[in-house]
Amino acid sequence: MSRMLRYALTLACSFAGAHPWGPTARANDGEAHWIWSPAQTKNAVPIGDCYFRKSFELPESVEGAQIQITADNEFELSVNGQPVAKGVDWRQMQIHEVTGHLRKGRNTIAVRVTNKDVGPAGLAVRVIVKQTGGAYEGFSTDATWKTSVRQFQGWTLPAFSDNDWVAAMSYGELGYALPWGNEIVIDGIGARFKVAKEFEVLRVMRDDQVGSLIAMTFDSRGNIIASQEGGHLMLLTDSDADGVHDKAATYCDKVKNAQGILALGTRVFVVGDGPEGMALYRLRDTDRNLVADEITKLMGFRGSKGEHGAHAIRLGPDGYLYVIVGNFTRADATPTARSPYRNAYEGDLILPKYEDPGGHAVGIPAPGGTIFRTDADGSFVELVAGGLRNAYDFAFSPEGELFTYDADMEWDRGAPWYRPTRVSHVTDGAELGWRSGWSKWPEYYLDSLPAAVDVGAGSPTGVEFYDHYAFPEKYHGAMFGCDWATGRIHAFTFERHGASYTAKPEVFLEGRPLNATDVCVGPDGGLYFCTGGRGTDGGVYRIRHTGAIPPASRVVSTPAPATAQGIERALTQPQIEADWARAKVAAVKQTLGEQWEPELVAVARDKNRSVAHRLRAVELLIFFGPRPTDDLLKALAADQHPTIRAKAARLLFQSDDAAMRTLLVSLLSDKDALVRRCACESLARRGPLPAAADVLPLL
């Protein structure tokens, strides 16, 4: 059944009503096209007007007629010389009943389109007419429409001769042609994105500006550093200071296809294909002209540089750099003896081992995908965890816990060894159990950590924790995770369960399509995501909460009042993991000078302060120095609140003092499971292991 017939049947069923034309009705069997004058270049149309006409003969009177119209940027619509409508937003396709404007004989649809800025421009119109006793006919925009870049007297009238006008150029069908894509809302129905009514989605940068993007982050100035698929690093800036990024420029053309980006003050760490191959690089803009001019290789990678290669990089709560790599790749360095993840093994298998018959991941041994940490010079590698399939990104929660969103093997669905996409809580030394082929470890294995939640089939990409106050309280501390394949962004909320966490998923945003590859929180508290991958439509979008700023559940995320001074500004700075947030805290430190450390230590020790503020004080000492002293950690290890004791246990690994080691061993018998786990991780990270008698009771 043709598309025209399907829509005609839909319209016929409702024709007896006052509004017989459905909002999804199409104008002809081939759908409306985006069109423009062939005298101008598609993505470089100058500012100004362009004129369009479509004339047609109607041998009978009109029973019903409708026009659906949108234009980039503005339009004025006339029918037979009579003004009908104006529009200023190409994302909103207007619907107009024009039965009374048409007549037997010659009729003309005329549209003036105004391009407001240099760049793409286009017109898309559906015209559907039903003559009395006849069938539905369509006269939608295509190459049969006439166009001119000059205005003529009487050009909107049927009697005007447009023989000297040229045929319009088609850019492709409505819904598919770029850069507009499938973002048109038709009479309030059919929006590209489905999100709760108190949120709005704004396209910040288009595909023609940035191309297919695969990773992004914010720098200290609030600019976006983004990576093109197969291309270079770009810097997206807000040139007119209106709060919307609008200018794209090259930041570094020496590193390509970067799948991980971390801005850290004057440095930018990237995981990509650079001058010395696939590696972790450190970039600097030494002359402050917004272009990286210093590139230093810190560490190479062996194996694939593609989708199963090295991925995201993050700053950990301990001040080290963390990197996640897919199951086809390894860090090209020998892990130190201090690595929490030391003894990867396949497991006891019934031979022979059956691997994927299509050849995927055949011969890839344990540990599969891994997470490692290093310092800002790449001077060592400590393996943190293994047994991942191909997690593209990971993030640290406001409490300092590491979570990732791992991929499935899609064609294993239905097999007993199929493992769905899942969110995992990754502790030091964690084994997540992925193995090539049929030998994946089931969750009931004692030496394999279960998922925090199984999500289902999909293709996970970027993740980010939300620690701002601009979204409703339910999302404070939630992790947003992109699923490229299903066109969704999930919001995962966590609840502590013993020494670990369980997660609850919620579909936060759906799209048609939603090929989201990465997600970040901006200085305005908006959730930004980029699109692209596998050559698909690229861009940058912002999700903004349109209601009143709600109260925060975490005290740290409460916005600091305008009158807040000194250390309070640092304690209440939202989204501390972002470089733009750390830049604001650095300014506070500079202002306080010698008072910085004693004020933070006082807050950390103050039992009358909120737990969130005390934890933040410790984090600020780690990120900005000086690191917490043994005396401070000893006091915190004896605190009445388990979260404070756990924080101390995490950091005691750094001490060489024998008394601190004894204190850490004593925390193995703490009454709280979280404290006991953190003590175990810290002991495994450095120094001699404790006596078996101290550890066995924990099993």
Q: At residue 506, does pLDDT exceed 70? A: yes
What is the predicted pLDDT for the residue at 563? 61
What are the pLDDT digits (tens) for 258-270? 999 999 999 999 9
Per residue in 606-638, pLDDT (tens digit) is 999 999 999 999 999 999 999 999 999 999 999
What's the mean pLDDT in 403-423? 95
pLDDT band at 137 (very low <50, low <70, confident <90, very high): confident
pLDDT single digits (tens) 317-329: 999 999 999 999 9
- Comparing 422-431, 498-507, 563-572, 595-604, which segment has the lowest mean pLDDT? 563-572
Find the mean pLDDT for residues 556-581: 81
Residue 537 predicted with pLDDT over 90: no
Query: Has residue 669 got a pLDDT over 90?
Result: yes
Is residue 283 pLDDT above 90, yes or no? yes
Of 344 and 17, which is predicted with more confidence? Answer: 344
Tokens of 366: 């344990």
Tens-place pLDDT, residues 459-490: 999 999 999 999 999 999 999 999 999 999 99
pLDDT at residue 188 in the model: 58
Give residue 453's pLDDT.
98
Structure tokens at 41: 């270049």
Interval 676-692: pLDDT, tens: 999 999 999 887 889 99
Q: 3-state class of 194 per DSSP?
A: strand
99-103, 188-192, 333-337, 495-499: the lowest-pLDDT one: 188-192
Q: Is the pLDDT of residue 502 over 80?
A: yes
Q: Tell me whether strands 430-431 and 382-388 are parallel, antiparallel or unpaired.
A: parallel
Spatial contact of 147 and 168, defined as CB atoms under 8 Å apart: yes
What does the pLDDT read at residue 550?
56
Q: Computed over its alpha carbons, how large is the radius of gyration of the chain?
A: 30
For residue range 74-109, list pLDDT tens digits in order: 999 999 999 999 998 888 889 999 999 999 999 999
> What does the pLDDT read at residue 31?
82
Average pLDDT in the chain: 91
- State the DSSP string of 607-637: TTS-HHHHHHHHHHHHHHSSPPPHHHHHHHH
pTM assigned to the model: 0.80
531 phi/psi in degrees, rounded to 5: -125, 160
Give the model's confidence band at 9: pLDDT under 50 very low, under 70 low, under 90 confident, else very high. Answer: very low
Burial class for 171, CB neighbours closer than 10 Å (0-12, 13-18, 19+): buried
Q: Residue 536: what pLDDT?
A: 87
pLDDT, position 183? 75
Query: In this predicted model, what pLDDT tens digit does every residue of 356-410 receive, in sequence order?
Result: 988 999 999 999 999 999 999 999 999 999 999 999 999 999 999 999 999 999 8
Query: Residue 188, Cβ neighbours under 10 Å: how many?
Result: 10
- For 638-649, write each residue's pLDDT tens digit: 999 999 999 999
- The confidence score (pLDDT) of residue 562 equals 54
| Backbone phi, psi, residue 391, to 5° | -70, 130
**Tens digits of per-residue pLDDT, 72-83?**
989 999 999 999
| Residue 432 reports pLDDT greater than 80 | yes
> Which spans in 154-310 are helix H?
207-210
Burial class (CB in 10 A: 0-12, 13-18, 19+), 568: middle
Query: Residue range 105-124: average pLDDT?
Result: 94
pLDDT higher than 70, residue 206: yes
pLDDT at 551 over 60: no
pLDDT at 15: 30
Using the predicted structure, report yes or no on whether residue 62 has a pLDDT greater than 70: yes
- The full 3-state SS of 34-85, as one line of letters, equals EEECCCCCHHHECCEEEEEEEEEEECCCEEEEEEEEEEECEEEEEECCEEEE
Q: If pLDDT is split at 50, 70 and 90, which confidence band does 187 have? A: low
Confidence of residue 350 (pLDDT cuts 50, 70, 90): confident
Cα–Cα distance for residue pair 362/159, rounded to 1 Å: 72
Taking only the tens place, the pLDDT of each residue in 15-29 is 323 333 444 444 344
Q: What are 146-156's pLDDT values in tens digits?
A: 999 999 999 99
pLDDT recorded at residue 218: 98
